[in-house]
Structure formats: structure tokens, C-alpha cells
Amino acid sequence: MNLYQFLSILRARRFVAFGIFLATVALALAWTLLRPSYYTARAPVLVDIRSTDPLGSNQWQPAIPASYMATQIDIARSDRVAERVVETLGLEKDAKAREEWQQTSGGRGEFKTWLAGNLQTQLDVKPARESNIINIAYTSRSSQEAAKIANAFSQAYLDIALDIKTDPAKRYSSWFEEQLKFARGKLEESTKRLTDYQQKTGVISADGVDMETQRLNELSSQLTMVQGQLTDVANKRNAGVGVAEVMVSPLINSLKADIARQEARIQEASANLGSRHPQMVRMQDELNAMRSRLNSETSSIGNSINTAFEVGRARERELSGAVNAQRARVMQFNKYRDELSVLRRDVDTAQKAYEALSERASNSKLQALTNQTNIQRLATAVEPLEPRGPTTKLALLVAAFGGLLLAIAGAVLLELMNRRVRSVDDLQLATGLPILASLPAHNGRESLALLANGPTRPALGYRGSLA
């Protein structure tokens, strides 16, 4: 089919095509005038990928996982958020809604759940393209109601997201408080056992050298010194009178010198005087007295050695007993220190456990008291000025374009159903024979009348020759 044939078909079927065009435009106009008006309000929220936990690190992530955004969208659409909206707006107090619930469900189920389900049917939650923004849209017959419910959904979503974040922290906080009380009691019990044991044994520290060990060292040193002195005295005692003590004694040396001088005087006097001479007798008596004193002093030195030996033996026995007793005491104190070390380790372990639980309990309490999440409201939904859907002008333009296409398609379809000869090309197509010549149309009235009143035979039904 060429352009001339197509235009001839449209010209012949112009009334049908025009009727289809007008019907389409009229239907579109009627639809735009009679359609119910629905208004859609949007409340965008931002899912910030930066951590807002005051106890965590505020670091930007390279990209937010798609599953996280899908989870947030599901939370915004969830029954829990819808039920929170019902509570916030007080929809359960609406008598008309309760009557409708009684009629539709027969009173089965919960009224609150039914209201939440109705709200979810008009809710649309979609993420913005290539961003972390979620658009919460609600459609209603009233623009004011659409904006109010959209804002209620966004606020409920923020509240539920905060509850999801803080509820586990609250439960953990309660659990940590109980564990903290138990740890505090265990720490106090361990500390009390340590204090009682220190008071009972007198051991203050489990490390270093205490006074008992120092005393044992001092006694051991004294015993060693006494044993050394006792060995020296025993050697002198076994050898008899100590020659060294005698030789170094000033008194004995003085007595020896006096005896030597007295003997010299007696020897000089014996040359002139007899042995019975009173002077000789006196001098001899003085010499004897000096010798007696020398012997007495020498004997006293030997007695002093024996006395020193006995005193040293007694001191040795005393110090040995003291050392043995102190050694037993030190060993007992070492046992006390070992037990004290065990008790102190118990106290340290209980202290570390208490501090760790205290830190975790403080963190959980802070997380439970937080009032911020990584979700923020970007804007508040406002009442839409235009209803949802195309405007009247746009609808008429689309209807005109569609009506034009339908009119053309209808005219062509009718022509195909009842094909007629409207040009030389149609005649050649119908007969399959070449056209040898064509005569121009006559302008006379007879020719016009003949053409107007004469029957037109369908081209597709003709199979004869035109010669």
C-alpha cells in the first residue's frame, strides 16, 4: 500500500475515523472530570552510613550494603510501624472505621491490626535512585490526610528504628546489672577473706623479705660468729694456758719485770748480806709475793678461758634453739604467704571481672539511653496541591494522540474487512493484470450521476477480464 492508497482510504473512511477520534477524546475528558482525586504526600528520610554510636568509631564506609537498605525499607513497611501510626493518630477511636471493620471482617481479628493493614495498602516505600534516601509516600483522597499519615509513618519509622537499636542494649543493661551485683559480692567476699587471713596470721605482704626472715638471718649470723669464737676458745683451752694472752697481758709483763728487778737486787745484796739478814729476808718475801701474784694472774687467765668456753657453749645452744625456732616460724610464714598469694590472686581476678562488667554495664546503659540513630528525617511531608495522575491538559493531549492512532487503525481495519477499488493501483492489485490505459474522469452531470448511482462491485471479488 502506497501513500496515495492510504490517503484515499482515510478520505473514504473519514467519518468513521473522526467518530473514533471524538469518542476517544470524549472518554478521556469524561474520565478526567469524573475520576476520584487521590493525593500523594512524601516524607523523605536519610539512612546515614556514618555510625552515630557515641561509643563507636565515626568512620565513613565506602558503600552501604544493598541488603541493609532493603531491611530498612521492610522495617518502614512493617506491621509494627503501621500499628505505631494507628496509636499515634488515635485511629482506634474512630467509630466509622470500627463499624466498617465489623462489616468487612465480622469482628474477627484485632481492630488495630485491621487498621494497620488498611494503612499499608496505600503506603509506598521506595529508595531514591543511587542514594541513601528512602521516600515514604502515602496516597489518600484528602491531601491533608495524606500529609498527616505520611509524616506519622516517617516518625513511627524513626521511633521503631530507635527502639530496635536501644531494646537489646536495655536488655543487656539489665543483665549486666545483675551480673555486676554478683561480681561485686564475690569481690567483697574475696577481700574479706584476704583481710581476715592477714589479721589471723599477721602476714601483710606475700612478696619480699619480711621481719621474720630478717630476724632469722640475724640469728644465723650471730650463731656463726659465736661458733667461730667458741672454736677459738676451745683451741686455747685444749692447749692449756693461753701463751698469747699471757704475753700480751700488761699486768703479767709488769709483774715479770718487777720480779726480774727484784731478783737482780737480791743477787747484788747477797754479795754483802747473808741470807738471814733482815733486808735479804724482806726482799725475798717481796719476790715470793710477786711470783705468787704472777701465778695467780696466770691462773686467772686460764680460768677466764674456761669461763669464756662455757659461756660460748651456752650462747651457742641458745642461738641454735632460737635459729631452729625462727626457721620453723619462717617456714610457717612462707606457708602463710603462699596461701596469701592465692587469696590475693582471687581478689585480683574478682577485681578484674568486676571492672570488666562495670565497663560493659556502663556502655550498655549509655547505649540504652541514646536517642539518636543513623536515620534522619530530611523533610516533612506537605499537603500536595495537585492530585495524583496526569492533569486534564496532559490527559487530553494523550487522548488526542491515542484517538488519532485509533482512528487511523479503525479506518484501515474497516477497509481491510471490506476492500474497495479506489484507484488504479487497487484495480491492478485486485485483478493481477497490468493496466494498459486510464481515462480521465468526465466532468459532466451524467458521468457524475452515473458514478454516484451506479453500483460499485467489490474489487477483491472480480475475476473477469476488463478488455
- The beta-carbon contacts of 348-357 under 8 Å, at least 24 apart in sequence, are 350/183, 350/186, 350/187, 350/190, 350/191, 351/187, 353/183, 353/186, 353/187, 354/180, 354/183, 354/184, 354/186, 354/187, 357/176, 357/179, 357/180, 357/183
pLDDT at 16 over 70: yes
For the ranges 67-81, 147-161, 381-395, 413-427, the lowest mean pLDDT is seen at 413-427
pLDDT at 466 over 50: no
User: Which stretch of DSSP H or E encloses residue 4?
Assistant: helix 3-12
pLDDT at 227 over 60: yes
For cell 497490468, what's the residue? 434
| Rounded distance between C-alpha atoms, residue 362 and residue 368, angstroms | 10
The band of 10, judged by pLDDT with boundaries at 50, 70 and 90, is: confident
pLDDT at 467 over 60: no
Q: What is the pLDDT of residue 455?
A: 47
The band of 437, judged by pLDDT with boundaries at 50, 70 and 90, is: low
Q: What is the pLDDT of residue 62?
A: 47
Q: What is the pLDDT of residue 242?
A: 46
pLDDT at 422 over 60: yes
Question: Are the CB atoms for 245 and 300 separated by under 8 Å?
Answer: no
Average pLDDT value for residue range 150-172:
86
Which one is predicted more confidently, 31 or 85?
A: 85
The band of 450, judged by pLDDT with boundaries at 50, 70 and 90, is: very low
Which one is predicted more confidently, 433 or 99?
A: 99
Which one is predicted more confidently, 298 or 215?
A: 215
114-129 pLDDT, tens digit each: 888 888 888 889 888 7
For the ranges 10-19, 178-187, 190-199, 423-432, the lowest mean pLDDT is seen at 423-432
Average pLDDT value for residue range 82-109:
84
Phi and psi for 335 in degrees, rounded to 5? -65, -40
| Rounded distance between C-alpha atoms, residue 445 and residue 436, angstroms | 27
Q: What is the pLDDT of residue 60?
A: 45
pLDDT at 225 over 60: yes
Phi and psi for 463 in degrees, rounded to 5? -130, 5
Q: Tell me the HSE value of 81 on the side-chain side, using a 13 A CA sphere.
A: 27
Angle (CA) 243-245-248 rounded to 5° is: 105
pLDDT at 461 over 60: no
Average pLDDT value for residue range 229-246:
60
